[in-house]
Amino acid sequence: MRHYKKGRKLGTDKSHTKAMKRSLVSSLLLNDRIKTVESRAKEIRPDVDKIITWAKKGDLHSRRLAIAALGGNKELVREVFEKVAQGMFQDRQGGYTRIMKLGYRKGDNAPMVIMELVTEPVRKKAEKDDEKPAKKTAAKKAQPKKAAAEEEAAEEVAEEAKTEEVAEEAAEEAAEAAEATEAPAEEAAEEAEAPAEEEEKKEEK
Which of 96, 122, 148 represents a domain boundary (last residue)?
122
Between 128 and 169, the more confident residue is 169
Question: Cβ distance 113 to 101 under 8 Å?
Answer: yes
What pTM did the predictor assign?
0.59
- Whether residue 102 is found in the same domain as residue 187: no
- Whether residue 118 is found in the same domain as residue 171: no
- Whether residue 73 is found in the same domain as residue 101: yes
**CA nearest 84: which of 60, 116, 114, 119?**
119
Taking only the tens place, the pLDDT of each residue in 43-95 is 999 999 999 999 999 999 999 999 999 999 999 999 999 999 998 888 888 89
Residue 4 within a domain:
no
pLDDT of residue 137: 59
Q: What is the CA radius of gyration of the chain?
A: 47
Q: Residue 78 belongs to what domain range?
A: 14-122
**Which domain CATH number covers 105?**
3.90.1030.10
Taking only the tens place, the pLDDT of each residue in 97-152 is 999 999 999 999 999 999 999 988 888 776 666 666 666 655 555 556 666 677 77
Between 193 and 117, the more confident residue is 117
